[in-house]
Chain A
Amino acid sequence: MVVNQVVATHKTDRCILFEAQSGTHAVRDILELAQSQLSEWGAPATAAGPVQIVLAEVLNNVVEHAYGFREGEPFSLDMALDGPALTCVIRDFGTPFPDGTPPRGEAVALDGPTSSLPEGGFGWFLIRQLTEALSYDRTNGCNTLSLRFALAD
């Protein structure tokens, strides 16, 4: 059975709310819808690219870490235009960050032999590099991550 994993449940001319259920294609689907919305809002590709990179990392973390790959779990993405900025709020009801705070996203060391090159640990570095501001809250079992991006070219 094919289940529609992502639905835009609320939309005005400056904001949109996507509600989704974790699953194999949920992240791809929500990213695709988010990109169409940014394009509809006239965001240049140079701004939409970084937003997609960050949202991919954040949403993959929700599916893989907060929900441990369990399918059918709820999460949402709220995108709102605020002047030249974009605010994205991601909510889930999974496991909080290990020490109650998002990772610092240190750059991964690439020195050393090829055989010891890291194959992960890039996600939070990219998130930190590409967001203007970021905040996290855990209340009543709900993780709320708020991100801010500059949309100007």
Chain B
Amino acid sequence: MDMSSRSEGPLQIITVNANRIDAAVAIQFKDTMRAETEDTTPRVILDLRQVEFIDSSGLGAIVAAMKQLGAGRKLDLAGLTPTVDSVFRMTRMDTVFSLYPTLDAALMAQAD
């Protein structure tokens, strides 16, 4: 799955370069996330701005990606498009993840 990653000190930004995270790619997404987050950066921001659609398999894969980070590390989500945002809010996953409308907003929150 096409994803790119860059690190800025204690922060890693992973960008999904695809317009869907669905059943067809959920396993690839999870595997790519595992490989990309092998370093122990405490905070990982997943930039979803290009993702227009997510299904429950994709949602499950993002939960799995957070769980495989392990204790003491955080996965935040940025750039949620309307349909993706609605799936996270309806399933109450907005209580599990910090959601930011843009990557900039997520980076600003670093100071908190």
**Chain A residues within 8 Å of B, Cβ to Cβ:** 24-25, 27-28, 31, 45-46, 49-50, 52-53, 56-57, 60, 63-64, 107-108, 110, 114-115, 117-120, 122-123, 125-126, 129-130
By the criterion CB–CB under 8 Å, are B91 and A28 in contact? no
Main SS of the interface on chain B? helix
6 contacts between A and B (CB under 8 A): A25-B24, A46-B82, A114-B96, A118-B63, A119-B63, A126-B87
In the docked arrangement, what's the CA distance between A25 and B25, Å?
10
Q: Which residues of A contact B53 (CB under 8 A)?
A: 31, 52, 56
**Are A115 and B55 CB-contacts (below 8 A) given A56-B22, A60-B23, A107-B92?**
no
In the docked arrangement, what's the CA distance between A80 and B85, Å?
28
By the criterion CB–CB under 8 Å, are A110 and B55 in contact? no
By the criterion CB–CB under 8 Å, are B91 and A24 in contact? no
By the criterion CB–CB under 8 Å, are A53 and B87 in contact? yes
Please count the residue pairs between chain A and chain B whose beta carbons lie under 8 angstroms apart in the complex.
75
B17 within 8 A of A: no
Q: Quote the shortest CB–CB distance from A90 to chain B (angstroms).
A: 15
Q: Quote the shortest CB–CB distance from A57 to chain B (angstroms).
A: 6
By the criterion CB–CB under 8 Å, are B87 and A110 in contact? no
**Are A129 and B90 CB-contacts (below 8 A) given A53-B55, A119-B63, A120-B60?**
yes
